[in-house]
Copies of this chain bind each other. A is one copy, B any other.
Amino acid sequence: MHTAAAIADFRSYPLVHALTAATPLADRVHVTWADGRLSPFHLQWLRDNCPCQQCVYNVTREQVLEIVDVPEDLAPDEVRIDDQGRLCVAWQDGHQSQFDPGWLRAHAYDNASRAERLAGKPQRQLWKRDLQLPVFEYQALIEDTDALLQWLLAIRDIGLTQVRGVPTEPGSLKQIAQRISFIRESNFGVLFNVQSKADADSNAYTAFNLPLHSDLPTRELQPGLQFLHCLVNDAEGGESIFVDGFAIAQALRQEDPEAFDALCQIPVEFRNKDRHSDYRCLAPIIALDALGQVSEIRMANFLRGPFDTSVEQMPRLYRAYRRFIALTREPRFRLMQRLEPGQLWCFDNRRTLHARNAFDPTTGARHFQGCYVDRDELLSRILVLQR
């Protein structure tokens, strides 16, 4: 028979601290643990999370119960800890719920448990020009899921990686991207070819230098990961440059908080436009998460529309924008490297800004292929590999 925890999720929740007591109160149960922690669980929460096969379909492990179908004042007849250490609730309407203590502890929402979960979240590592570039071998990533996991964790936490030993046939980028998941398509294709073209539909497809930017800031959700795979690189110039946008945002926040606030508050429109498409997205350059941490940088000067803010705010926005760009140009932040055939960059497009020096197409061919994979796919893949 499945345990309650197995039914509710595909993860396992080992027993860390045993349940020692369970005391029913008016609207909650107070549970105490072997380490002395006290966790309140509201009756609504317990009933809602009942893992039995009536409440959760055991094939999909998705909930069938809707809590609104249970009276708001449903109370237990009995609350006890059984001989397997589970919390057992016998409800007044006859329903029975049993909670695995490992699962229950992992989902406790007392302050200490919540703080513990928050502290256990992955920590990003900010970097500057002296980053020890995380480099991985193609063959290992294809064959070995441990190597794959290490690569994915580096993408998640550092946001810039290089892979070497990649075949140089066009399209071979797909194999490595699909080790994570499917590729996110855009109007530029599933794979895009970065080459200088006479009929370019973006400055990316010229030989111009491209200033530090994120790709597709013109979409509501910027692509999570960007791959750039070098097939041929015989032209002079064209070096890749990267900065950690989160490190720059942090520097701006410390050195010029007024400019930082302006870039968090004032939305800017970005545009991709050609004969067949017209993408526009209005959003601030720096996005913060619910805890006030920088969660995303959105920036591409060549895709920016005219600033549209009040007359009073306009000088503030220009000052902040200039300050941000000036920071991205400071050598302390910039990692520069020329990509050789068989190498690829994989980086967090919403964090790590990338640039390209101008190249001279008369000195030789240059052909990169690129593609995108979304952050949802990266995080899902990591969770599955960590099971």
A274, closest chain B residue (CB): B10
Neighbour of A273 across the interface among B10, B221, B303, CB < 8 A: B10
Assess whether A111 is interfacial by the CB under 8 Å rule.
Answer: yes
| Proximity string of chain A (46-78) to chain B, C-beta cutoff 8 Å, 1 when within and 0 when not | 001100000001011111101110001000000
With both chains docked as a complex, state the minimum distance between the C-beta of A219 and any C-beta of chain B, in angstroms: 5
The docked-state distance in angstroms from the alpha carbon of A158 to that of B290 is: 31
Closest B residue to A376 using CB positions = B219
Which of A185, A303, A326 gathers most chain B CB within 10 Å? A185
A208–chain B nearest beta-carbon distance, Å: 7
A165-206 interface (Cβ within 8 A of B): 181-182, 184-185, 187, 198-203, 205-206
A2 within 8 A of B: no
Q: Could you tell me if A203 and B279 are in contact, using CB atoms closer than 8 angstroms? A: no
Are B315 and A42 in contact, with the CB atoms below 8 A?
yes
B111 and A203 contacting across the interface, CB-CB below 8 Å: no
Q: Which single residue of chain B is at the shortest CB-CB distance from A186?
A: B182
> Contacts A66-B301, A306-B107 known; A273 to B9 CB distance under 8 Å?
yes
- Residues of chain B lying within 8 A (CB to CB) of residue A83: none
Q: Does A310 contact B (CB under 8 A)?
A: yes
Which among A235-243, A247-255, A379-387 touches the partner chain?
A379-387
A372 to chain B, nearest CB (A): 12
How many angstroms between the C-alpha atoms of A199 and B58 in the bound complex?
11
Minimum CB distance partner of A387 in chain B = B278
Question: Which partner residue on chain B sits nearest A325 by CB separation?
Answer: B68
Residues of B within 8 A of A304 (CB): 63
CA distance A187 to B311 in the complex (A): 47
A269-327 interface with B by 8 A CB criterion: 273-281, 290, 301-304, 306-311, 314-315, 318-319, 321-322, 325-326
Chain B residues whose CB sits within 8 angstroms of the CB of A303 once the complex forms: 62
> A380 to nearest B CB, angstroms?
5
* A361 close to chain B: CB less than 8 A: no
Within 8 A of B (CB), among A86-112: 107, 109-111
* A278:B109 contact, CB within 8 angstroms: no
- Residues on A lying within 8 angstroms of B by beta carbon are 9-11, 27, 40, 42, 44-45, 48-49, 57, 59-64, 66-68, 72, 107, 109-111, 114, 117, 181-182, 184-185, 187, 198-203, 205-206, 208, 211, 218-221, 267, 273-281, 290, 301-304, 306-311, 314-315, 318-319, 321-322, 325-326, 329, 374-376, 379-380, 383-384, 387
Known A42-B311, A59-B200, A185-B185; 12 more pairs at CB < 8 Å? A11-B278, A44-B318, A45-B307, A48-B318, A57-B208, A59-B198, A60-B200, A60-B205, A66-B325, A187-B380, A278-B384, A279-B380
